[in-house]
Structure 1
Amino acid sequence: MASTVSRWLARAAALATPLMAALITGPAARAATLAEGKYNQYDQGVRHVATLAGYLSYGLMALTVCFGILTTTGWARRSVRRETMYGGHMMLAVMTLAFGCIHGIAYVFQTGEHFSYVNAVIPFVAGGELEVAFGIIGLELGIAVAVSIWVQRRLGYRRWHIIHYLAYAAFALSLLHVITTSAEVQALGMLGIVVLGCAGACVLLLVLRMLPATTAVATRISPQEV
Structure 2
Amino acid sequence: MCLTLTWGVLVSTGWFDRLTGRHALRSSHQVFATITLSFAFVHGVSFLILDKDALPLGRVIIPFTGPLRDTFGTLAFEGMLAAAISVGLKRWTNYWRWLWIHRLAYPAFVLGVLHAFFQALARGTLSAVYLGGLTLLIPTVTVTLLRFVPPKALESAGLAEGGP
Find 2:55's aligned residue among 115, 124, 142.
115
Mapping of residues 93-104 of structure 1, within 5 Å: 93-104=33-44
The Cα offsets for residues 90-147 of structure 1, whole Å up to 9 and x where unpaired, read as: 001011111111100111112432511111100222xx11001100110011111101
Match of 2:4 in 1: 64
Q: Percent identity?
A: 31
- RMSD over aligned Cα atoms: 1.9
Q: Is the 8 A contact 1:70 1:85 kept in 2?
A: no
Of 173-182 and 194-203, more deviation after overlay is shown by 194-203
Pairing 1:85–2:25 present: yes
TM-score normalised by structure 1 residue count: 0.63
Match of 1:132 in 2: 70
Q: Is the 8 A contact 1:75 1:217 kept in 2?
A: no
Find 1:179's aligned residue among 117, 126, 129.
117
SS at match of 2:55: coil
Q: Is the 8 A contact 1:74 1:217 kept in 2?
A: no
Of 194-203 and 78-87, more deviation after overlay is shown by 78-87
- Segments of 5+ residues of structure 1 without an aligned counterpart are 1-60, 220-226
User: Matched residues in 2 for 1:81 and 1:114: separation?
Assistant: 46
Find 2:148's aligned residue among 210, 221, 225.
210
Match of 1:146 in 2: 84
Q: Is the 8 A contact 1:66 1:202 kept in 2?
A: yes
**Structure 1 position 211, deviation (Å):** 2.8
Distance 1:156 1:173, change over 3 A: same
Q: 2:4 is aligned with what amino acid?
A: T
Find 2:106's aligned residue among 168, 176, 185.
168
Distance 1:111 1:79, change over 3 A: closer
SS at match of 2:48: helix
Match of 1:193 in 2: 131
Distance 1:111 1:211, change over 3 A: same
User: Matched residues in 2 for 1:212 and 1:123: separation?
Assistant: 36
- Segments of 5+ residues of structure 2 without an aligned counterpart are none
Of 128-137 and 69-78, more deviation after overlay is shown by 69-78
Structure number with greater CO (CA < 8 Å, separation at least 6) is 2
User: Matched residues in 1 for 2:105 and 2:46: separation?
Assistant: 24
SS at match of 1:133: helix
**4+ residue stretches of structure 1 with deviation over 6 A?**
none
Q: 1:154 is aligned with what amino acid?
A: W
Q: Is the 8 A contact 1:122 1:136 kept in 2?
A: yes
Number of residues of Structure 1 aligned to a counterpart in Structure 2? 154
Q: 2:16 is aligned with what amino acid?
A: A
Structure number with higher helix proportion: 1
